[in-house]
Amino acid sequence: MTRLKSLTAAQLKKMINDTKAELDRRETIKAVTLEIRTILKKYKIDIQEIDAQALQKTGVSKRQKKANASAKPSDQRRAVKPKYKDPDGTTTWTGRGRTPSWVLGICTKHGIDVDSFKEDGRFRW
């Protein structure tokens, strides 16, 4: 009781509203349970005969929605064949996207830019 005395009026009203809501929920459950029992008795069905899946919630759960929302769509782009290779022949580049470090190294070594590298036949695949 000492705890109730320390609560503000707003906190007490919230507690009263929450309590009323819980009582209403329990009354609803009681009424629905009675209705279900009446239906089961009418059709002579035992509660154990009801399929467990029928009692589970239907629809998509919040966890599934979140997983579906965060799932990335599959990449539909086509693979591009490489056009350029390093002198060792170990690495290749399609000529698209970010310029690889080995290409920049060759450009620096030969004093050329990336466009000149692309035109140079020595590095073509």
How many residues are listed for the chain in this entry?
Answer: 125
Instruction: Output 60 or 94, whichever has higher pLDDT.
Output: 94
Q: Is residue 6 part of a domain?
A: yes
Q: Is residue 70 part of a domain?
A: no
| pLDDT single digits (tens) 41-82 | 999 988 888 877 676 766 666 677 666 666 667 778 888 899
What is the number of domains present in the chain?
A: 2
| Domain ranges, residue 7 | 2-55
Q: Is residue 36 part of a domain?
A: yes
Q: Is residue 110 part of a domain?
A: yes
pLDDT at 33 over 70: yes
Q: Is residue 94 part of a domain?
A: yes
Per-residue pLDDT, 30 = 96
